[in-house]
Structure formats: structure tokens, C-alpha cells
Structure 1
Amino acid sequence: MSDTPAYQVVVNDEEQHALWPARTAPPAGWHAEGFTGSEEECMAHVDTVWPDIRPLGLRRRLARSAEAGR
């Protein structure tokens, strides 16, 4: 078995996270977040760094709506 991590964590402009094969460049619109490891390690990392899974645009709209309602 290889010591090379099997997965990397990738992120898009909406701050959505995904796992991608470590030896493969991320697809267009995604960039490597910097964490690599096993599937389980990457999933645990994503669970830690991405607690609010709503896309960034939606979070911003909801925040503006909440501020306007004050």
C-alpha cells in the first residue's frame, strides 16, 4: 500500500467542500484546500472546517435579510 494520501479536500467559490483524488487536479471552479489523507481523515476534516453547509451566497443573503429585519 502506498503512503500517498488517497484524497484531498477541495473548495469552490461558494465555500463548498468536497473530496477529490489526491493525484488528480481539481475540476474547474475548485481548488485544493490543503488537507490530504484517507477518505475518513478528509471527511473528519470537512466536518470540522465546514459546519454550515449552506453555500456562501445563501448565507450572505440570509444575513442581509436578518440585518434588514432589525
Structure 2
Amino acid sequence: MSIDNPETQFLVVKNNQQQYSIWPTFRALPEGWQAIGIEGDKATCLAHINQEWTDMRPKSLQDAMA
């Protein structure tokens, strides 16, 4: 399987800094990232991230500026 294959399924993942990414389902998640329960094709996952991740600053920076 390849990440460039249009049939590849992805997970939406988030790290402890509240940063989002997508990760192919056929690979183990990297350390520090958690799946948040959204799975689908690349476009679906990226659309979810675009809707949810409105503040691109890492959580530590958000907290420091609060």
C-alpha cells in the first residue's frame, strides 16, 4: 500500500500540543500521537482537520499567552 494510492485510508491524529495530522492506517502511529476516531480518505481527514484546528499555535504557546 502507498500513501499516494487514492484508496489509502487515513486516521486523524493529534499530539500532546494539540497539533493535528493524518496518518495512514497501515502504519503504526508514531510515539506521541493519538488517533482521535476519525478515519477516511485523505480529503475527508484533511477537511476534518481544517474544521477543527483553528489555532495553529502549539498548546504550550497558547497556555503561555493566556
CA contact (8 A) 1:11 1:31 kept: yes
Q: Which aligned runs of 4 or more in structure 1 are off by greater than 6 angstroms?
A: none
- What percentage of residue pairs aligned between the two structures are identical? 37
TM-score between the two structures when normalised by the length of structure 2: 0.83
Task: Tell me the residue number matched to 2:3.
Answer: none
Q: Distance in 2 between matches of 1:12 and 1:58?
A: 14
Corresponding pairs, count: 60
Give the letter for the 1:35 counterpart: I
1:5 CA drift (Å): 5.9
User: Which one of 35, 47, 56 corresponds to residue 44 of structure 1?
Assistant: 47
Structure 1 spans left out of the alignment, 5+ residues: 64-70
CA contact (8 A) 1:5 1:36 kept: no
- Does structure 1 residue 59 correspond to structure 2 residue 33? no
Higher alpha-carbon Rg: 1
User: Which one of 21, 25, 41 corresponds to residue 22 of structure 1?
Assistant: 25
Q: Distance in 2 between matches of 1:23 and 1:36?
A: 12
Task: Tell me the residue number matched to 2:16.
Answer: 13
Structure 2 spans left out of the alignment, 5+ residues: 1-6
Q: Distance in 1 between matches of 2:53 and 2:62?
A: 13
